Amino acid sequence: MTDRSAVRVRFAPSPTGMFHVGGARSALHNWAVAHRLGGSFVLRIEDTDEARSRPEWTAGIIDALAWIGISADDPAFEGPLLQSAAAGAHIGAAERLYQQGHAYYCDLTPAQVQERADASGTPGYDGYSRDRGLGPGEGRVLRFRVPDGVTVVDDLVRGRVEFDNSSLEDFVLVRSDGSPVFVLANAVDDIEMGITHVIRGEEHLPNTPKQQLIWSALGHAPPVWAHVPVLVNESRKKLSKRRDKVSLDQYREEGYLPEAMVNYLMTLGWTPPGAEEAGTEIMSWPDMEAVFDLADVNSSPAFFDVRKLDAFNGEYIRAMDVDEFVERATEEIPDDWDRDRFARIAPLLQERTVRFDEEIPGKVDFLFIPDGTDVEIDDASWAKATKAEWAEPLFADVIDAYEALTDDRWRTDVLKSEYERVMTTYGIKLGKAQAPVRVAITGRSVGPPLFESLEELGRDETLRRLAVARPRFGSG
RNA sequence: GCCCCCAUCGUCUAGUGGCCUAGGACACCACCCUUUCAAGGUGGCGGCACGGGUUCGAAUCCCGUUGGGGGUGCCA
């Protein structure tokens, strides 16, 4: 027995082999409502269209959900249920609808329907078979007999939406091959599963009156509807996998943290109460879940802005435990790099990291060059760092000072103070003064803090690189 | 074409008739800090699509216009 008072929501993706960020947001909304209201979250795979259904895709969906914190192990989680397994219920419901006069058979082919529409000048199906009393048969579809009147959809995010039934036309419930159509299957599944809240994307709003009609024809009060606005791209078109980067997995591979993705996704169309006072929209899932309310969700489409996602990701990365950061960052470096050396330098990268992709190795690769191979020095950077009058003499002085250092004094603090001692002669600040050496050592003008890098590189290699670079002064 | 939805800074939003000289976040710009780059701090730029009403008073309510989007299958 289903407890009718208990909240039950569902997330019903079709298995397409790719999990959409919009789907993730929708799943999060459902998850938040289920938890907040002490209800359950049902995962239903809409695999009716067999041509695009693959078992491994269901596993992919579960994995993607787990990544954003919707765990199949959570007590609120139910499923996965396969829509195809309920085919009998769909047909049974269709039969009932027919028996009770809420549906009727029609033998017109799509082409014939089109012909009649063209002839009359009124688009759509004209109700041709409404009163012809046709029974089931070869090549016949079952159509819903849409009653006169108005269907009012009460939507949590949109309010009251009215549809004149005359604009609905007698839509198909069962195809001529006997298979149920989406609106029927979807509504019947929701009824059978005791779904109380249907929370989904706005693109479903237009077929909601049809489903509501089915619910009531089947003798049920409609569920609570909530149609959340779609996610759009920079040209304000609905995010599509054809032209936009929408795969959750792809973001995952690029090194976005699930917490950041979840947090960002939730801020699209909704601001956590208190975010303004706090001066930040960064908020943990438990905190968001505790205050999330569909009625507070905005009703206009939201642009998926990767720049803001990046900002969130950076915040979450900086908030990570250092060891955790190092461990995660290590996954991104080439196999032949010295793990220990990387672990020593990696903490310096934490606040400089926005994503865990290529930028990690690219920032410290100068420390992992094979013995005997020179760094590739960027000419423009070298030219800029050494164009001042003081550059060449300072460079020479630094070499002298560093050569005088014994191995046991080759430490960040000493390297820095020696550098500062040398540069006072030239009356410049460390910010400028460190440039020539930085380029000589790393090949670039930007990178992790210099003296820490020199300590890690070691005395011999540092001195060697400085010696290799020095002749460049003469050659302009 | 028809049906439906939407409309506050570049972006995401707060705002539910007076608290709005419209607030925050991201981005951008400037300055500060500084061992480059970041991070951090301070400040700045920037918006209620338009036109009519209603009201003592409108970002907020109503109507229209314009603009955008979604849906219009025997797809899901």
Question: What size, in residues, is chain A?
Answer: 476
Cα dihedral angle (A377, A379, A381, A383), rounded to 10 degrees? 130
Coil, strand or helix at A220: coil
Closest residue, by C-alpha, to the C1' of B11: A305
Measured distance CA(A64)–CA(A54) in Å, rounded = 16
Q: Is the CB of A435 under 7 A from strand B?
A: yes
Our measurement of CA A231 to C1' B59, in angstroms, reads 24
The residue to which tokens 């009393």 are assigned: A133
Question: Which entry of A237, A241, A245, A387 is annotated as an active-site residue?
Answer: A241
Q: Is the CB of A243 under 7 A from strand B?
A: no
Q: What is the pLDDT of residue A53?
A: 61
Q: Has residue A49 got a pLDDT over 80?
A: no
- The Cβ of residue A3 has, within 10 Å, a number of other Cβ atoms equal to 10
Measured distance CA(A256)–CA(A175) in Å, rounded = 44
Active site residue A238: no
Give residue limits of the domains in chain A.
322-368, 379-474
Q: What is the pLDDT of residue A121?
A: 83
Q: What are the phi and psi torsion angles at A131 (to 5°)?
A: -115, 25
Q: Has residue A52 got a pLDDT over 60?
A: no
Mean pLDDT of chain A, nearest integer = 92
Coil, strand or helix at A230: coil
Residues 164-183 of A with CB under 7 A from strand B: 164, 167, 171-172, 175-177, 179, 181-183
Our measurement of CA A210 to C1' B75, in angstroms, reads 16
Measured distance CA(A408)–CA(A417) in Å, rounded = 15
Q: Is the CB of A318 under 7 A from strand B?
A: yes
Coil, strand or helix at A227: strand
More confidently predicted of A165 and A122: A165
Average pLDDT over residues A416-421: 94
Our measurement of CA A321 to C1' B42, in angstroms, reads 29
Q: What are the phi and psi torsion angles at A88 (to 5°)?
A: -60, -40
Contact between A8 and A197 under an 8 Å Cβ cutoff? The reply is yes
Q: What is the pLDDT of residue A145?
A: 96
Measured distance CA(A421)–CA(A457) in Å, rounded = 21
Measured distance CA(A9)–CA(A40) in Å, rounded = 6
Q: Has residue A173 got a pLDDT over 90?
A: yes
Q: Has residue A51 got a pLDDT over 60?
A: no
Measured distance CA(A210)–CA(A170) in Å, rounded = 9
Q: Has residue A429 got a pLDDT over 50?
A: yes
Q: Is the CB of A241 under 7 A from strand B?
A: no
pLDDT digits (tens, 9 = 90+) for A300-351: 999 999 999 999 999 999 999 999 999 999 999 999 999 999 999 999 999 9
Q: What is the pLDDT of residue A96?
A: 96
Per-residue pLDDT band at A16 (split at 50, 70, 90): confident
Percent pLDDT > 70 in chain A is 97
Residues 412-431 of A with CB under 7 A from strand B: 412, 416, 429-431
Measured distance CA(A54)–CA(A16) in Å, rounded = 8
Most confident of A5-14, A109-118, A235-244, A252-261: A252-261
Coil, strand or helix at A359: helix
Contact between A104 and A134 under an 8 Å Cβ cutoff? The reply is yes
Burial class of residue A31, CB neighbours in 10 A (0-12, 13-18, 19+) = buried
Nucleotides of B under 7 A from a protein CB: 1-8, 10-15, 23-27, 34-40, 68-76
Q: Has residue A105 got a pLDDT over 80?
A: yes
- Nearest nucleotide over every DNA/RNA strand to the A273 CA, judged by C1': B14
Q: What is the pLDDT of residue A17?
A: 78
Q: What is the pLDDT of residue A8?
A: 96
Q: Complex ipTM, two decimals? A: 0.94
Contact between A345 and A448 under an 8 Å Cβ cutoff? The reply is yes
Average pLDDT over residues A121-139: 90
pLDDT digits (tens, 9 = 90+) for A32-43: 999 999 999 999
Our measurement of CA A443 to C1' B36, in angstroms, reads 12
CATH 1.10.10.350 at A379-474, yes or no: yes
Q: Has residue A2 got a pLDDT over 50?
A: no
pTM of the model: 0.92
Per-residue pLDDT band at A50 (split at 50, 70, 90): low
Contact between A10 and A193 under an 8 Å Cβ cutoff? The reply is yes
The residue to which tokens 């009824």 are assigned: A191
Q: Are strands A141-144 and A103-106 parallel, antiparallel or unpaired?
A: antiparallel
pLDDT digits (tens, 9 = 90+) for A82-99: 888 888 999 999 999 999
Measured distance CA(A462)–CA(A469) in Å, rounded = 11
| A152 alpha-carbon distance from chain centroid | 33
Average pLDDT over residues A392-413: 94
Q: Flag the least confident range among A112-116, A435-439, A442-446.
A: A112-116
